[in-house]
Structure 1
Amino acid sequence: MSVATPYFDQLFADNDDPWAFRQRWYERRKRALTLAVLTRPRYASVFEPGCANGELSAELAPRCDRLLSCDTASAAVTLANTRLLGFPHAHVQQARLPEQWPAGTFDLIVLSEWCYYLDADDLNRLIDRALIALGDTGQLLACHWRPAIEGCPQTGEHVHALLHQRLSMPLVASHHEHDFLLDLWSRDGTSVATLEGLR
């Protein structure tokens, strides 16, 4: 069974940064690596499910024309909206995925540190929806903690293995460490150098 919304509500009940995204060097460095792995300087539309308090959202916003972020916890949505006040093209909504997947097409979908909360059925449904929502040159980025997490139905290893199997798209960038996996798939497997006419 996927982890239920009350679990996330409780995390944010008395803490506006339950995973210490702002304080930990581990988290700040991982965000920098996440942004560096993206092969395009800018995207027309980005979707970031599971945005938590919006720390990654605020760093994605300058890289796109339209950003939609969502979270299942109402407190997280409020925090993320506050974090994104300086970005009028960024919007945050409360949604439980995969059931409440938004309409529209996206050039980039960012799955950062939350797919392991989904059970196998929900994760497969999420991938189905992502495949439909990605544009012709769309990309999907996934970043997840590798060790098992108590109470989570998946591990990061399982999530990335299933994504690689189901997406059937070229893996254009990959950064794996002892602690986390970071992968970027793209419908268009063109390299950065090729895009800039260097090859």
Structure 2
Amino acid sequence: MSVDDSVFDQLFAGNDDPWAMHQRWYEQRKRALLAACLPRARYASVFEPGCANGATSQVLAARCDRLLCCDTAARAVALTRQQLADAPHARVEQWRLPAQWPAQRFDLIVLNELCYYLDPADLAQLIRACRHSLTADGQLLACHWRAPIDGCSLDGDGVHRQLDEGLGMTALLEHREKDFVLQLWSRDPLSVAEHEGLR
């Protein structure tokens, strides 16, 4: 069973930054790596499910024409809306994944520290939804903590194995550290250099 909504409501109760995403150098550096790993300078449409307090949403908003974010916790949604107050091209919704999912298509979907909160069945449903929602040359970037998490049946490595098997897309990038794994899959198999005629 996936982690219950009440867990996230409790995390945000009295704490606007339960993972210290704004304070820790670990989180700041990881966001910088995530941004640097995006193969395109700009995307037409980006979806960030599980946006937490909007720290990563701000980075993504600067790289796209349209941004859709969602989270299951009402406080997280409110915080992300505050973070994106100066980004009129961004929208934030309160949704429970994977049951609630947008109808539109995206050039990029970002799964950042999200998928191990889902059980394998819900993760499989989310992967199918991602596959269906990506454009013909769409990309998916995922970043997850590799250590075990209390109450979760999957760790980051298990999540990324299931993503790799379920997406059936070209893996353009993999960055693996002791703490986290970051990977990007694309329907367009060409690298950045290949797109610029360097190979």
Q: Distance between the aligned counterparts of 2:174 and 2:65, measured in 1?
A: 25
1:107-148, Cα deviation, whole Å (9 max, x unpaired): 000000010000011000000100000000000000000010
What SS is found at the alignment partner of 1:188?
A: coil
SS in 2 for 1:66: strand
CA distance in 2, matches of 1:66, 1:11: 29
Report what 1:175 is aligned to.
Answer: 175
Report the Cα distance in structure 2 between the residues aligned to 1:46 and 1:171, rounded to whole angstroms. Answer: 19
- For structure 1, list consecutive stretches of 5 or more residues without a partner in the other structure: none
SS of the residue corresponding to residue 62 of structure 2 reads: helix
Show the counterpart of 1:90: 90
Q: Give secondary structure in 2 for the equivalent of 1:103.
A: coil
Alpha-carbon deviations, 1:24-72, whole Å to 9, x = none?
A: 0000000000011110000000000000000000010010000000000
Partner of 1:13: 13
RMSD: 0.6
Secondary structure of the 1:78 match is helix
Q: Which sections of structure 2, spanning at least 5 residues, go unmatched? A: none
Does the residue aligned with 1:150 lie in a helix, a strand or coil? Answer: coil
Q: Contact 1:170 / 1:187 at 8 angstroms: preserved in 2? A: yes
**Where does residue 193 of structure 1 map in the other structure?**
193
Q: Structure 2: which amino acid aligns with 1:63?
A: R
Offset, 1:197 = 2.0
Q: Residues 66-85 of structure 1: CA distance to partner in whole angstroms, max 9, x if unpaired?
A: 00000000000000000001
Measure, in 2, the Cα distance between the counterparts of 1:98 and 1:114.
11
Deviation at 1:152?
Answer: 1.1
Instruction: Give, in whole Å, the separation in 2 of the partners of 1:177 and 1:136.
Output: 31
Matched, 1:61 2:38: no
**Is this contact kept in 2: 1:108–1:139, CA < 8 A?**
yes
The residue that corresponds to 1:184 in the other structure is: 184
How many percent identity over aligned positions? Answer: 61
Shift of 1:91: 0.6
- Counting only pairs closer than 5 Å after superposition, residues 105-184 of structure 1 correspond to structure 2 as 105-184=105-184
Q: What letter corresponds to residue 142 of structure 1 in structure 2? A: A
Amino acid at match of 1:87: A
Q: What aligned pairs does 1:93-104 form with structure 2 within 5 A after superposition?
A: 93-104=93-104
Residue 189 of structure 1: how far off its partner (Å):
1.1
Q: Displacement, 1:196? A: 1.4
1:21-36 correspondence runs (5 A): 21-36=21-36
* Distance of 1:168 and 1:60 partners within structure 2: 25
Letter in 2 for 1:48: E
The 1-side partners of 2:6 and 2:153 are apart by 16
Alpha-carbon distance in structure 1 between the residues aligned to 2:144 and 2:170: 19
- 1:18 aligned counterpart, secondary structure: coil
Letter of the 1:125 counterpart: Q
TM-score (normalizing by structure 2)? 0.99
User: What is the one-letter code of the residue matched to 2:180?
Assistant: F
Deviation of the 1:176 alpha carbon: 0.2
- 1:46 aligns with 46
- Residue aligned with 1:149, SS: coil
